[in-house]
């Protein structure tokens, strides 16, 4: 069975033509699925009956099964989706006055293994398919639209950030069709500036994205020099800062915005000294990358061994950048009471399995061994 969520509109058109259908049939189908949130072919009333019948035998919309949905005190919603074989991914909706941002996952786990990231600590399980990436948006948009009582033309999700679990540019071939469906006027109709890919710096793929689907780009920097960055983001060994900066500069020729957003996770005593901020100024000036900085207060998790920088130090760091002429924001922590904040997404199911295994081990231990707190 074909999963209809696995296609952008071009892909769906090719598939429909292969089935002997006219190309406009694909657009009709695409609109039913993505604009109206309809999965059941029988409800797609303007499709010809024989075509509906044929479709039923060949394809379906395969949604993700939500294991849980949690709503934070601040209105942030976090879904945990089952992607099979004990893996789960998380998707987070962040409502604000003028927008609704959906934070989407691209992989189960992540191979980049950044020191400060809970997903990275979990290791890499697998890439998500285009259908699994899009199913997160499909579920959130149509679910929230119904819950909020929005009418046909209204949107719950106005912005998408690929900042959930995983490194999107290490899942490039699945990512690009998903982005295209997000941008498609017959799909979610989001503008390029409202769709952001966040990357730890996969240089060759930044270059490809520029040609294939230039959306807004956020780069997770976290350090002003190679030595420190290698320590925090191991991928820096493969793609050092000079190459990364050159790729950022080149990207701007096609980007929908005239700046790159640099994300910088503030780690107590590690990368948060004013000297680091001054070195960042030298770095971005030297490489001539127009940019904004987004400082993210570190969200601690038990295995990291790291601490969040004190507020005063984050503010002082921001001031150095601001005084150097760079627009700098400090990210508000949202949804941390439900572990939905940046870097806290771990796909709890796996963890829970581990906890269960640990508990089972403990039960089989001889009674004289003192139980350790997990
Ligand atoms: N893999 C991509 C996108 C997902 S991570 C990337 O690294 O850019 C999204 C953002 O959350 C990144 O900027 C990442 O550095 C940040 N992040 C990861 N762990 C964090 C933590 N524990 N606290 C705060 N931010 C974190
Ligand atoms: Fe992967 Fe991004 Fe986490 Fe690094 S910060 S481990 S790239 S998800």
Q: Would you list the domain boundaries of the chain?
A: 2-60, 65-361
Structure tokens at 139: 């579920």
CA distances from 351 to 233, 347, 348, 357 (A): 23, 7, 5, 10
* Residue range 65-361 in CATH 3.20.20.70: yes
Ligand that lies nearest to the alpha carbon of residue 303, given by its number in the listed order: 1
pTM of this structure: 0.92
pLDDT means per 10 residues in the chain (374 residues)? 97 97 97 97 94 96 97 94 95 96 97 95 96 98 94 92 97 98 98 98 98 98 98 98 98 96 98 98 97 96 93 98 98 78 60 33 27 29
48-80 b/e with 16+ CB inside 10 Å = b? Answer: eeebeeebeeebbbbbbeeeeebebebebbbbb
Residue 341: its pLDDT value, please?
Answer: 67
Would you give the DSSP letter of residue 254?
A: T
What pLDDT score does 342 carry?
A: 64
Q: Please check whether residue 338 is in contact with residue 75, taking contact to mean a CB–CB distance below 8 angstroms.
A: no
Tell whether ligand 2 has an atom less than 6 A from the beta carbon of residue 113. Answer: yes
Q: Are strands 291-297 and 260-266 parallel, antiparallel or unpaired?
A: parallel
Q: Is 141 in the pocket of ligand 2 (CB under 6 A)?
A: no
pLDDT of residue 369: 27
* Helices and strands: H and E segment counts in the chain: 12, 14
Ligand 2 atom closest to 235 (CA) = 7
CATH 1.10.10.10 fits 2-60, yes or no: no
Answer whether 61's CB lies under 8 Å from 1's CB: no
Q: Cα of 98 to ligand 1 centre, how many Å?
A: 24
Residue of 266, 260, 259 whose CA lies nearest to 223 = 266
- Name 351's Cβ contacts closer than 8 Å, sequence gap at least 6: 122
* pLDDT number for residue 125: 96
Query: 21, 90, 132, 141: which one is catalytic?
Result: 90
C-beta of 162 in contact with ligand 2 (< 6 A): no
Ligand 1 atom at shortest distance from the alpha carbon of 162: 3
What secondary structure letter does DSSP report for 273?
A: S
Q: Is 263 a catalytic residue?
A: no
Q: Which two tokens stand for residue 136?
A: 């997160």
The DSSP code for 97 is: T
Identify the nearest ligand to the CA of 119 by its number.
2
State the pLDDT at residue 345: 63
């Amino acid at each position: 069975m074909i999963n209809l969520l696995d296609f952008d509109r071009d892909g769906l058109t090719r598939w429909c033509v292969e089935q002997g259908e006219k190309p406009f049939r694909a657009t009709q189908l695409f609109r039913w699925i993505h604009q109206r949130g309809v999965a059941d072919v029988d409800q797609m009333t303007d499709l010809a009956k024989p075509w509906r019948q044929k479709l039923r035998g060949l394809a379906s919309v395969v949604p993700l099964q939500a294991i849980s949905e949690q709503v934070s005190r601040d209105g942030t919603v976090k879904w945990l989706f089952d992607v099979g074989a004990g893996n789960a991914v998380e998707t987070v909706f962040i409502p604000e006055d003028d927008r609704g941002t959906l934070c989407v996952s691209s992989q189960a786990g992540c191979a980049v293994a950044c020191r400060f990231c809970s997903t990275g600590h979990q290791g890499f399980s697998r890439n998500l398919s285009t259908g699994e990436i899009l199913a997160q948006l499909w579920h959130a948009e149509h679910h929230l639209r119904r819950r909020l009582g929005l009418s046909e033309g209204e949107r719950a999700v106005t912005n998408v950030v690929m900042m959930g679990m995983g490194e999107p540019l290490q899942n490039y071939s699945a990512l690009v069709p998903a982005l295209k469906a997000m941008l498609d006027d017959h799909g979610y109709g989001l503008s390029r500036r409202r769709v952001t890919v966040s990357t730890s710096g996969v240089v060759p793929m930044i270059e490809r994205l520029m040609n294939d689907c230039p959306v807004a780009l956020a780069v997770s920097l976290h350090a002003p020099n190679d030595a420190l960055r290698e320590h925090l983001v191991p991928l820096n060994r493969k793609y050092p800062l000079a190459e990364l900066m050159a790729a950022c500069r080149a990207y701007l020729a096609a980007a929908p915005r005239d700046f790159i957003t640099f994300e910088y996770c503030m780690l107590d005593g590690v990368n948060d000294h004013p000297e680091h901020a001054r070195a960042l100024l030298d770095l971005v000036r030297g490489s001539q990358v127009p940019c904004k900085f987004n400082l993210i207060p570190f969200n601690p998790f038990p295995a990291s061994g790291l601490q969040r920088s004190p507020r005063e130090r984050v503010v002082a760091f921001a001031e150095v950048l601001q005084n150097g002429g760079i627009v700098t924001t400090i990210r508000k922590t949202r949804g941390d009471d439900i572990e939905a904040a940046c870097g806290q997404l771990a796909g709890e199911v796996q963890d829970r399995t581990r906890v269960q295994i640990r508990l089972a081990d403990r039960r089989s231990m001889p009674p004289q061994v003192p139980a350790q707190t997990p």
